[in-house]
Copies of this chain bind each other. A is one copy, B any other.
């Protein structure tokens, strides 16, 4: 029962595609194939501002349609703001869709009762807090903690990033009563194992967790027919209108090299 999953970096840069692909593949089930893509023809290389999410959201819709056409079993919209998740679910057909905040929070709240999310900058908190509320986890939130780094700084000096994550994760546990740490940006990848070992509580990674959750969703649909409900809020548009309004977009892609 193998599965193919599409990771979408919803930005116009392929800078992280290969690195995320390499980081993700060893973490998945053996029979999962992971392709990592990003959006063509857009100058936007990070989504720290909601305005940038809005500028890229149309292309993300087009790539979701492409993914569905290519028969991926699931897609992950790879930004911790979970951008355009409702829209993606409306048009994803039988392909499951999830996103980092949703997946991390569902998993984290099963492992502990109070969760701290480590973000780059204060600016991110209000929109992420909206999502925490939307998913129902407001009372599980121990704190947001701020690393004081931008997205594109996380991978520049990994030791520095790890030190900052470690420092704030410790404070979240000691001062805020966190049971579980969530890394609140996909580009904080590569650090969770070390930090977790140091501080002794689960540290949920924002690329690994949604990928594992996507595997689950893909399997639930395949084996049990538990796919996105079309009853109310994720109802899908008429096919002709969809074709007219949301053009399919072929992404820049890093294919899984494994056989």
A102 at the interface (CB under 8 A from B): yes
Residue tally, chain A, CB below 8 Å to B:
89
Assuming the contacts A51-B237, A52-B246, A123-B235, asked whether A202 and B179 have C-beta atoms less than 8 A apart, the reply is no
A57–B87 CA distance with the chains assembled, in angstroms: 12
A91 at the interface (CB under 8 A from B): yes
Measured between beta carbons, the chain B residues less than 8 angstroms from A106 are: 106, 110
Measured between beta carbons, the chain B residues less than 8 angstroms from A227 are: 111, 202
Measured between beta carbons, the chain B residues less than 8 angstroms from A220 are: 107, 212
- How many copies, total? 6
Encoded as 1 (CB less than 8 Å from any B CB) or 0, chain A from 44 to 79 comes to 100011111111111011000000000000000000
Measured between beta carbons, the chain B residues less than 8 angstroms from A173 are: 231
Measured between beta carbons, the chain B residues less than 8 angstroms from A60 are: 54
A56–B133 CA distance with the chains assembled, in angstroms: 26
Contact B237 A122 (CB under 8 A): no
A112 to chain B, nearest CB (A): 4
A208 at the interface (CB under 8 A from B): yes
A52–B102 CA distance with the chains assembled, in angstroms: 22
Measured between beta carbons, the chain B residues less than 8 angstroms from A136 are: 109, 135-140
Closest to A137 in B: B136
A37 at the interface (CB under 8 A from B): no
Contact A55 B55 (CB under 8 A): no
Closest to A180 in B: B229
A210 to chain B, nearest CB (A): 11
Contact A58 B61 (CB under 8 A): no
Contact B233 A123 (CB under 8 A): yes
Contact residue among B54, B134, B177, B179 (Cβ-Cβ distance under 8 Å from A234): B179
A158 at the interface (CB under 8 A from B): no
Q: List 14 A-B contacts (CB under 8 A).
A: A51-B245, A57-B58, A113-B126, A113-B232, A114-B126, A114-B233, A122-B177, A133-B139, A136-B136, A136-B137, A136-B140, A179-B232, A205-B224, A212-B220
